[in-house]
Amino acid sequence: MVGQGRDHRLTTAAAGDLHDRRMCPSGVRPTAVWRPARPRRVLLLSDSFRPTVNGVTTSVEELRSGLLEAGHDVRVLTVGPGRRTTVDDGVYRLPSLDASTIYPAARLGRPVDARTFADLVGWQPDVLHSHTEFVAFWWARRLARRLDAPHVHTYHTLYADYTHYFFPHEPTGRALAARFARQTLNRTDTVIAPTAKIERLLRGYGIRVPVAVVPTGVDLTRFTPGPPSEELRARLGLAPGVPVILSLGRLAAEKNVAEVIELLAGVRQEPWQLVVAGDGPQAGALRGQVERLGLTDRVRFVGAVEPARVPDYYRLADLFVSASRSETQGLTFLEALASGVPVLCRDDPSLDGVVRDGHNGRRYRTPDDFARALTWVVRDAGLRRRWSHGATLTAAGFGRDAFAQDVCAAYDRARGSVGTARWAA
């Protein structure tokens, strides 16, 4: 429990055993809700929040829900679409400007708002926890200085893999991304990295402040195994008896969906059908690729999916597939596993302890690896059932209750660097 000195920081070796440490011996998901010894006031700050759908938003929302369920007092500072600040259900939305020329759907919030600042100072948050490195981050810095409170920051985005949006020369773009991270994160008291891979990356960038490895949790009551929606199957025109492969996420270069389609084309002799759920700048190019490869009758592009319907798409699938190399953790992988869906993905250290070969899926390194694994899955229903069971066992260790506990442990460690009396037990 928090306050008893338990070290929640996961080493690279320990990350592989995370699911075993957090899972009940029977494999049944725990239902008890953790309660802290003392509720805290936590301000979460992010330039991205609902209704925007992305990994950062999902992580912030899961943390907020986990902290609230544990009895903490939580507010959120983010950006809104209008010209006036709004406050609703503990969420402050700052006026913002369109910044989609930098990144699709991005908005730049107001850096100064005296009334909102005074209101938050009066609330006296115990910790400022930022999740993006732009306007929300600098609000956290100013509040931390004013309140003498710890500033914790989660590093969600591998900007080095997104430089194609704003800088044409890749090596220079990567160097700039490293410099930006170094100059920004070293101003905080503690950085949270979702995986040991990101911790190593940040150390390589020259991050000197403490780094805590805390995997993001998922809502295990929302993402659960279940029968597929027959209405959805019919609407998508899926063939009965043919295994369904799901790709879910933003259709952008860094997600590498083109590689998935290319690899599937190499095993067209096997029975499969692909559902591509999501939208983005590469949607048109991917449709063209499917047509050129003669896969139109086997691939369904469904566009952006309403968040409420996302679990239905996972339950539709026999296999979740991804070739992304830009993940800090990859929440869609955890959502799929929690839904009982095995994963076939490109091998990446960010998935250590999450996708385990032969237990809940397969991590491929070559096209031949991919082809062999896909062939096993589509031909062997028993293998699909075993991997599905392994998927739910793994996901049981990544619930948002454990997530909230581990984040609070990082808050406790950060308090020592600012010496505030409010953290006395």
Q: Which of 130, 21, 123 is nearest to 407 (CA)?
A: 130
pTM for the model: 0.83
The per-residue pLDDT for 82 is: 79
Whether 12-217+399-423 shares its CATH topology with 230-397 is answered: yes
Q: Which residues does the chain have with pLDDT short of 50?
A: 1-34, 163-164, 419-425
Two structure tokens written together for 298: 């086997």
Domains of the chain, by residue range, sit at 12-217+399-423, 230-397
- Please tell me the distance from the alpha carbon of residue 324 to that of residue 299, in angstroms, as a whole number: 19
pLDDT digits (tens, 9 = 90+) for 305-316: 999 999 999 999
- Please tell me the distance from the alpha carbon of residue 16 to that of residue 6, in angstroms, as a whole number: 19
Residue pair 280/251 in contact by the 8 Å Cβ criterion: yes
Two structure tokens written together for 7: 């070290």
Q: b/e per residue, 21-38, with b = 16+ CB within 10 A? A: ebbeeeeebeeeebebee
The per-residue pLDDT for 54 is: 85
The per-residue pLDDT for 28 is: 41
Concatenating the DSSP letter of every residue in 145-186 gives HHHT--EEEE----GGGSGGGT-S-HHHHHHHHHHHHHHHHT
What CATH number was assigned to the domain covering residues 230-397? 3.40.50.2000
The per-residue pLDDT for 206 is: 95
245 backbone dihedrals φ, ψ, rounded to 5°: -105, 135
The per-residue pLDDT for 3 is: 36
Residue pair 10/18 in contact by the 8 Å Cβ criterion: yes
The per-residue pLDDT for 18 is: 39
Two structure tokens written together for 185: 């994160």
The per-residue pLDDT for 425 is: 36
The per-residue pLDDT for 23 is: 38
Residue pair 306/319 in contact by the 8 Å Cβ criterion: no
The per-residue pLDDT for 174 is: 75
The per-residue pLDDT for 16 is: 38
pLDDT digits (tens, 9 = 90+) for 52-83: 888 899 999 999 999 999 999 999 999 988 78
Q: Domain 12-217+399-423 belongs to what topology?
A: Rossmann fold (3.40.50)
